[in-house]
Chain A
Amino acid sequence: MTRYELTDDDVALIIGSGPGGATLALQLVRQGKKVVMLEAGPWVSNEDFVNDERKAFDQLTWKDPRLATGTWSLASDFPGSPAWMGKVVGGTATFWTGLTPRFKAHEFRPRSVYGQVSDAALADWPIDLQELEPYYDASEIAMGTSHRHGRPPLPANNNYKVLANGAARLGYEHYATGPYATNVEPYDGRPGTLQDGFCQQGDKSRAKWSPLVSEIPKALATGLLELRTNSQAVQITLGTDGRADGVVYSDVDGVLHRQSARVVAMAGNAIETPRLLLTSATNGHPDGLANSSGQLGRNYMRHTTGVVYAEFPDEVHMYRGEPMAGIVNDESRHDPSRGFVGGYYMESIAQGLPSFSTFMTPHGWGPEFTSKIEAYTRTAGMWICGEDMPRETNRVTLSSSLKDHLGLPAPEVHYDDHPNDIAMRDHAYTQGEKLFRAVGAVRTTRAPGMPSGHNLGTARMSASSADGVVNSFGQAHDIPNLFISDGSIFTSGAAANPTLTIMALVLRQAEYLMEQARVGVL
């Protein structure tokens, strides 16, 4: 692999190897740019993934100390685990499930369309659907998303058969097995799915798209990317001109190094990105880098979620096949007559027995609980994924007491459910139960949200530097050569699973960055 000198100040330095960071890296190296990528976790190859939920969790997860506070159920159910993120090459997408809906046009204009919602910090995006559409196309092609650009639909697995039939009987119309970023047939040098489940344990077969099997190896093949694994960024440094000029990071032995850089892009997910920017506070940026707006760390969103599990008289075997290959769109519309703004998707979800026992009724016990465990093979699952309200008080801050292995303050994630979130979740639970009852469910269980896989909004995009952290290209308002390339930059959450939109925003960002470099601004 290519090696760059620590003093080479011509490199673009990208922090994080998930969908945002890896997409940016590939675009830059394809344009001949030198890129150093820091990944806090190790490289784990597909063949080393493990079809075992507990072992895979240990292998792939960011397990550094964190704290969840607030009224959300995670603060009491799993206070040490506000989120489930990857610490591995490929980031959280290493164990993502793969649904790729686009935002709807109005979801870029929630303040205008939903109106004033009290105790919510709704704002319109400085970008619209039309501007993003070409990048959505490119992202779907990069991922090989099913149902799009000539890619075939996934076949129906058992869990989908239950969801889709229930949806049809409830009068819903817009259900399908995708769009879903897993190959049905061979594509882009990767095989079609074996329907082997264990998506969230890394996917041994490489059928599922992730940066590990696509952007990262492609970028490495150009000879212009140096990927430094087990390298955790601890500070972004600024030069006397106020621009970012490098990053201090800790290597696998805990030894600190400083890499110089022409451009720094932060793609550490919506908890670690604001954490690093807050940790990097310095003269001129006493409240954290790029935080003149005071919005850094605020407006943390994680989707309104929950699961409905339904028990049937007959076998389902939800664990077989792609775990999230089913989506019902009908409730994703904005329809205030339901008692809330925004919408939600109903998505297939399957879990193995260990995860099912942990999340079906957190901390449940006794005969009713065990009777649900015994019904595992006759159980179908549906995940709720809905738009939650951004709130200034829902935020990532640095803990005053909890520290990580490097002695740096751990992130605290505070989240209070908004009344709109609660109304939406109640509606979704009720509709989910009706859906499953319509096809013969004999018992249903409402499971609360799990540690968040969708983490958004903590460095929000805004037209004015007074209202947010970055502009529509993810460029920090305060520091022109500092970019944010992950879900932190979402102005609002929309209902859609976010990975496709993260990739689309970063493809647009990469074009802008190259143009800025061409005209000599960067």
Chain B
Amino acid sequence: MTSDDRPSRDGRSDPGEVAELVSLARTLYPHPGLPDAPYQRTVEQILARASVEPALWHLLRDGLTELRLASGAHLGEVPATDLHDLLTAREETRFFATLRDLVAWHLYDDHEVWAAVGYPGASFEHGGYRDRGFNDLAWLPEPRIEESDAPFVEIGSLTVTPENAAAQTRSNA
């Protein structure tokens, strides 16, 4: 047995299958600027889970087999637009719903994806944003932060009339 055809650590998936799932993951959540690595990690996490959840493993296996039959090819070689159409036609299946939710769950928790999108994650360790731009938006004027002293209409239309004007109760004790 060579290293290339050795089953992966869960004993059930093979590299070809991983490549197919990566193609599906990218079709579900296409980010052209992202390399394969985050998709690969996403698929590995899904397969790790499937390795201890037989129902999930069966669901993925059966779904992949059906997709291969429908496309007549290894899914890694099917053009993205065709894969998209194949998935759209299966949007109501449990296979699709399960794969979609698992891919989204893991992909958007991947720090390489965060970095690509521009989400920095934890901030406390860096002192928060008090001195790092929590208020650095400059394309709009600085708004009022205090409450307005204008009368507040509690019942009726926004137009203030003597009948509907009820000064907002505010305690500044």
Binding site for B on A (CB under 8 A): 50-52, 54, 102, 104-106, 113, 129, 133, 136-137, 140, 147-150, 153-158, 160-162, 164-165, 168, 171, 173-177, 193-198, 204-205, 314-317, 319-321, 329-330, 333-335, 337, 352-354, 356-358, 363, 365-367, 369-370, 373-374, 376-377, 439
Contacts and interface: CB of A to CB of B under 8 A. Distances in A.
Given A174-B152, A320-B129, A363-B100, A140 B140 contact: no
B74 interface: no
11 contacts: A50-B122, A51-B123, A149-B172, A158-B137, A195-B135, A197-B123, A315-B137, A352-B119, A353-B117, A363-B97, A370-B30
A333 B29 contact: no
B129 A321 contact: yes
B146 A320 contact: no
A131 B155 CA distance: 21
Contact of A147 (B29, B119, B128, B146): B146
Interface stretch (B49-57, B63-71, B101-109): B101-109
Given A158-B135, A365-B29, 12 more contacts: A50-B122, A54-B109, A104-B154, A155-B145, A157-B135, A158-B133, A161-B140, A174-B148, A195-B129, A196-B123, A197-B129, A358-B104
Interface string B129-173: 110111111011111111110101111111000000000111111
A194 B118 contact: no
Interface string B89-121: 000000001001100110011000110011111
B127 interface: yes
Contact of B128 (A171, A196, A330, A334): A196
B129 A196 contact: yes
A327 to B, nearest CB: 9
B84 interface: yes
Contacts of A176: 144-148
B47 interface: no
Given A148-B171, A158-B134, A164 B143 contact: yes
A200 to B, nearest CB: 13
A352 B117 CA distance: 11
A325 to B, nearest CB: 9
Nearest to B117: A376
A377 B119 CA distance: 7
Contacts, number: 188
A158 B29 CA distance: 28
B117 A373 contact: yes
B124 A205 contact: yes
Contacts of A168: 143
Residues of B in contact with A, size category: 35 or more
Contacts of B153: 333, 335
B155 A106 contact: yes
Contacts of A321: 129, 134-135
Given A374-B117, A377-B118, A365 B124 contact: no
In the A-B complex, the 10 residue pairs with the smallest Cβ-Cβ separation, listed nearest first, are A194-B128, A196-B128, A51-B122, A164-B143, A321-B134, A357-B108, A353-B119, A195-B134, A158-B137, A320-B129
A158 B150 CA distance: 25
Contacts of B144: 164, 175-176
Contacts of B130: 193-196
Interface in B7-32: 28-31
Contacts of B29: 365, 369-370, 373
B125 interface: yes
Contacts of B123: 51, 194, 196-198, 320
A165 B140 contact: yes
Contact of A106 (B124, B142, B154): B154
B125 A51 contact: yes
Contacts of A373: 29, 31, 108, 117
The residue in A197, A330, A365 that gathers the most chain B C-beta atoms within 10 A of its C-beta is A365
In this complex, which of A52, A105, A113, A320 has the most chain B Cβ atoms within 10 angstroms of its Cβ?
A: A320
Contacts of B173: 137, 149
A109 B153 CA distance: 17
A245 to B, nearest CB: 41
A102 B172 CA distance: 14
B96 to A, nearest CB: 9
Contacts of B101: 363
Given A194-B124, A365-B28, A376-B117, A354 B158 contact: no
Contacts of B140: 161-162, 165, 439
Nearest to A197: B123
B68 to A, nearest CB: 21
A194 B129 contact: yes
Contacts of B109: 54, 354
A175 B148 CA distance: 7
B101 to A, nearest CB: 7
Contacts of B137: 158, 161-162, 314-317
Contacts of A356: 108
Given A353-B108, A353-B119, A354-B109, A198 B133 contact: no
A104 B104 CA distance: 42
Contacts of A365: 28-29, 100, 104
